[in-house]
A and B are shown apart, each in its own frame.
Chain A
């Protein structure tokens, strides 16, 4: 029985101190994985994926296996009782009897919160529609912290779909909690960061930001470039998607304009917004980011299960 039932639904559910403790733990796991290979023996993680997501689900499952635990769950709604009309609330009441911890992905915004309100075990939001994806944020923070050694006084550029990109919203939310960060928001007019994030997150926290159309205009000033995919599934209109999807493509020529220490992150999957030629550039860390995601999720599972 856990002393303090905690969930991770939004990045804000962790204080800055807790986030830093998690990142330190993730670093220790990376340095000595064998020390953690049996700490979750006998524990079960349920991965409830109501919509497909290869990477996030496998990252969670790898994290639990690396910790010596076991996995149950489903990878799409059609193979779950949701296909028969069962509510998220009911499903969670049942799964929390079987599992010690739950990771849920659902296409509807707020589904993970509903899950947490009905669970007797920790619930991790593995993405709820276009809303929150806090373990992607932890992954991003872990990558930046591990490779830059800090999360403050950074110049961070977000490029691409800043309107529907939940990873962007969550990461901005997380990074405004650290002093001195500056943001460059690079997107076409149609895919700008929503007003409430500019007003209620960036402005209110006193961080400066600029909105620009051209990546070339700011890339030379950045410590971090966070690229995103224009997501077909977020558009109601196929024409709009086709018009906007190729607007920003990061290639070797643009990388020449960037500083030597700049890092390129991407939540993946990539479509064509980063040319394959960039992959061999040492500043391209989006595949390393996947590895940092596993360590972050391992640390999170240990924290929520009160094993660290």
Chain B
């Protein structure tokens, strides 16, 4: 509300005829995040298209005063042959016609549009309602009249070009107008479908739309975790009484301990190494795990991340350089590991042990996300054991229902012995619980 009022006050302060300034006022008062700027630009162009396009499309030739007068007479002469819409277009430009669009749209029943695919159908309906299909022949008629009057070749060409330009732009505007209607309807439908229990829905069952929606939920979650953690830090920060420091400070006040000093507790941040299975069965869980970890990166000492199917690839770099959502996509595309293979945990642990053991030290929490289904390859749990012996903690998150762990090619029972903790992590709720503990 406050922001709307600001915008209104702002508009009074600027030159309203300037589109750039008008746009800047709306932008600066309404948009407060760099991520939203692009969307704002898109919507602004879409919404205020009605005002801008005719202005730019106003062909100089038509706007020129000398042509205007005879044109009026000409149109009066040919009155019977020209439709009122055509006359309006030629004389007043398309801005005036655009203002009638909502009314025309109602006449053709645009409200009944259901799918974006119907856009061109409805656009055509509006064109027909306005008689635009006849505009070409009407233009010809007008031009021949002009010729009879002995107008110069130049003037005729100018008029012809002007009419063509306006007709083209107006056609575009109709399409955009219809498209906008279609889009607003579609958004509404999607929102209705969003389940409330999205947090408890299994990772595997999420639709792409829900994954999108989840990002917002994650953002809120991250903010909450961070606030809590900040509060905790604040309370914890005051450590024991610091005699030395207090005495030193008291010297300034003639030996009276006016300022009492306390030792500051050092923040002990966890160092994290995470191995994420990105085969299709586990990908969603990994994706959210990475998302949460990197959104909370400042809560940890260092996060190093690897993704794997049957081979390991490090993706830490992607996350350091890109924004989280973007990084997840890049990580998937960039890590040079073949995706169309069978998951091979044994090989992955071996590879990690041989190539990346320098990432692990006493401060490291080692996290594996995967279903532990090894496709009957050699399990290689001894390598996991060796990693564990060097790390502070080793945790396995399994996005599969605990009940299934014993069956088929799941090697969870063997890997579990090499871990300090094994958790079922089937939905966002469980994942958030885990991450929250991790930041403690």
A binds B: no
